[in-house]
Each structure stands twice: as C-alpha cells, then as structure tokens.
Structure 1
C-alpha cells in the first residue's frame, strides 16, 4: 500500500540514505531507533514536509513523491500534540472535516464516534488548554483518525506521558487500529510499544534501515552488534566458531558455547538474551547444551525484575522476577549455575 523506494535526503549535516520500506494495507509498522536516527524525518518525508533528493514514494500504486501534503490523505500526530489552543476539543477534532466542507451532521457523527472510542466524549465542549497530557494526545489522535487517512503517522505519540497514561493509550491505539484497520507507521524508541502494537518493526540508525522483521525476530535474532545492544540483548560475545554435525561451537576466552547455527566459520558474534538463561544453585537436569558454573558479581533490583551478573569465565547477565529471586535466595559472591539452550544462542557477523 505504501512503498518507499531508495529515499535519500540531506538536511544540513544529517541525511537519510536509500530508505526502502514496504507497508501492507492495514499493517501496523513501528520504526525503532535511538534519538537522532532520523525517525521523524522519515515520517515527515512521507507526509510531504520534505521532498526527497532522490527515490520515490508510492501510495496505493500512485507516485506521491512530490504531491502536495494536503492531497496525500495522510495524517500525522506529533508527541507535542500541536492542537489549536483557541478551539475546543470538538472544534480541534472537527477541524479537517470542516476545512473539507463536510456536512455538519456528518461531522458531528464522525467526531462523536471517534471521541467515544478514545474516551473523550465528555470533553468535547472544553478548551484544550486545560486538558491533561493524555487528554490532549487523545484529542490529537482523534483529529487525525477522523479524517479516515490512508496512512496514520505517529511520531512518538506516547513519550511525553506518564507510565499509567501511556499504558492506557497503548491499549486504546490497539483498539483503534482493530476498529478502523488504518495503516499505521509509528515511530518510537520504547520496546513496550513495539511488542504491544507492531505487526512488524524496522530498525533505523544513522539514517539507514538496518533490519526489518516481526518484533520477536528482530529482538531475538539481531543482524548486527548495534541492534543486539540496542534491543537489550546484554550478553554479546566475540569468538571463533567451528561447525560440527547439527551444531556449532563458539569459543570465547576459552569457554565453549554451543549454538544451533551451522555452516559458519571464523570470527563471529554470539548473543543470548538474559531472559533465556536459567539460573540455579545446582546443575539442572535438562537437555540444554550450555551449562556453566560461575560466581554472582552483582545484583540489581530494577523494580519488576532483578538483574544478576555472573562471572563464568566470561560475564553473563540474566534476569529473574522478584518472586523468582526471592525463591532462589542468592547473594553476591555465591556460586550458581547458568543454563541455556543451543537454540537461544544467536550468531551473527
């Protein structure tokens, strides 16, 4: 439905380089990347704010690369809302429909429907000036979705909100997407938004898309050291790999880690997500191919999870729930065993 082909653009010292991205009708795609990666510029180029230096943008088979923004039927929501302060909530939501001279009864019907879904029907008469951050963002999203856009662009729409409001709005965005089947391109650096909303994710860094895939694939099978570090893999090792029958062995500082990766030789990176590592006081009776004894170096309580760093000849990081940590009863300096499957070891160049 939406296709970016070799989009390149230079803005001052920053540039997007050959951005290629295809989005299906009704798909919810999240662009993930660090601050300064160019995420917002990708959205603004799609919206028509910046013309690309090269490449093309197609929407429903039509070239819109240099089309006027008002002719693209694309709506965009920024993290700072950009509401009209002199208008009421109702007038803000109805603004685009009024500009298009839709009949008053049709405008009222559409505004009421969207406001009801986003839970702001009781606010329609109010000025936007005194709304909370969550109410302002709901108003901004309503104003965008009421236009029935072909594509909805969301630029970190939840980043300015508190944790509880962010969680509620994530659920409302999910419900909104299911109700209207709108094609959505959502920019964020928040992993929770990726897993709760995205059908597919594209990782952007320094103006380049460096990996695309479903969330689980990108997070468990990163294609570069940068992605592995960015998505919080933690356990990333550099070593020599030798392939055997049905498996490979990566030797890292004298420690042999078994992986299901085959047909690879030479220097590689190996990564294991912390949540894939089992921690125990005694060796586990399990078919898992990797089991190492080590010493607990540090314990960090991160609220819902406890991070444990273990020296097993090389440093490992694993995580436990607070209940799991309480049950195992370990302290810094204790001897423990780390166990993980060969399939949990991802290998990349």
Structure 2
C-alpha cells in the first residue's frame, strides 16, 4: 500500500474516498480487505487525461494533487459534458478547493467539429463537448481545451453522469437545498422551488441543480451568482448536503451500507488514475479532508455578449486587465500549490465553506441582459 506523505457529481470522487476511509481506517483488517476489493471492482477505469496527465511517484501518494472531474449527460448513444471541475488538494492532503469552469466561458477550442472543418475556433467551452456524439472523440477535445486554457496538469481524472447523482440521492431519500430566492424550473412540469431551505427527492434535486436561467435577478448578478454561477452554487450545495446525509444515516461507518454506495455508482463513475494507486490507498491518504471545509473558487470572469455566425450570443468572458491577471494567477496557483496566497490576493472570487455565493460584486457588462 502506498504510504501517506502528506459530490457535483464532481465531488463523487471525494465522497467515495471519504466512505472508504471510514472503513479502511477504523475497521478490522478483514473489512479493510473487503473494502479494498469491492472498491477496485466497483469503479471502471478509462483513459481521460491524455497529454494533460501529470507525472507521479508510483511508490507513494503525495500532494499536491489536481483532479479533473467531468460531469456528463448520457442520452441514448450520445455522451456530452456540461460540468467541468478542477479539484485541487494541497501538499498536506488536508484541504480541498473546487474550481468550476462556467459552461459559457469563451475560450479557444482546438477542434470545433465538422461545422468548422475540425479547425480551432473561439466558442463557449461546452462547445468542445458537442463536436461528436462519440465520447471517445469529444472527451480528448474537452480535456485538451481545459489544458490549453489553464496549463494545469492532472494527477487523476473522473467522469460522473446524472444517473449516478440520482441513484445516490435515492439512497438517502432526500437532501436539503436552499435556493436564495424563488425559482421556476424551465423543465417538464415547471415546478416552483420556494426561497429557503427544504428537503428534495432525487428528481426535484436534479431539476433544481440543473437550473441556470432562473438566477436572473439583479441581486444575483451583483452577488456573483447569476446564470451559470447560480447553477454552480446549487450543485455545490447538493454535494455537501448529500455528504451530510450519508454521514447522518451511517453509510460511512457501516461496511454493509458502504456496499450500497459502491453498488450505487454502477457505471456512472469512471476514473483515470496511476495504475499503482489503489482506491483504498487514496482513501487512506485523503482521510484528513473535511468535506464541509471544501472551498469553492469562481473563475475570474463576468457576463458579456458577442456574435457567432452573425447571431448575438450571451457568454462569460475573462476580460483583459484585472480579471485576466487573476485568472492567470489562479492557473499558476493550481499548478504550483499556492492557492492560499491566491485566495488572500483575490478574495472576491472565493466562496467560503458553507457559502452559496462568491464575494464578487461584479455586475453584468454594459448592455448585457440578465434574462
């Protein structure tokens, strides 16, 4: 076992490690062995990172670690990614920071699909995942787009789909979500979610955390949670609430219930990790991470508008000047494990543990609507 030297669907990886940690660290050797075998059998592996794979020491797990998590939506034979999260764990393997990439972030994409003769273009980052229905084609394009944008090398990667989230919420029955104002769904029966905290089942939870157009109050934009930023905030709430429910119901301390978590993932989670690092080793090495202490960072950017094929398009843009400076510094901090200094220098882009909003007071760019 490699020694320690130091749920977003995106945080499922952290939740998974947390669940195994409680068993491996606190149970008998027999249970630990069972947990190890079950974990290795339960999580499919695939190549995700490609050229963005960081070099690692195969003999030991040590920080800092960068993990790329892609939330995917599987519909029929098509797989698309519309959630992209950079997870950073510090050198001591005690603190975690999540950086959500806005789906409308305007970036350079290396392959923009048949409509562009597979040439590069500038577009929303989620376009990188729409060039083909074949995930084997789109996945490397998504990863390369993120790598070109950030320069961050990743020690592990993971993909998690919506079905995995539904299954995990179903295990606990309901999770608490706290919309900061009333919001009406744009999906299905147009359910209305009232302001304040309430318990929601799997279908309601998924509906709420997929909303982004309803976060369009002036106050949403003033408080840094308008549009897709609001969606990100609700996703972060959902994962933390799910973790709390698993802990409260004993899933993380009962080996029998842990098996339910393992089975609940099914094919909804795949990972890309060094072959020598086992899931159990990761759990032991990450045992000091407190899920409730996860810090979320907003990519320095604000809403803007452009034209695409002569059609007006609402986007999120990292503007030249202060935003670009902060964004460049963020990518360097992820790569070099200097996030503590970055957070001190750029507090307006940081969300404190338990918070649903960033402290940014940026408003939409001139001429931008909030609808």
Q: Shorter-chain-normalised TM-score: which range?
A: under 0.3
TM-score (norm 2): 0.23
Which structure dedicates a bigger proportion of its chain to strand? Answer: 1
TM-score (norm 1): 0.24
Structure whose CA Rg is larger = 1
Which structure dedicates a bigger proportion of its chain to helix? Answer: 2
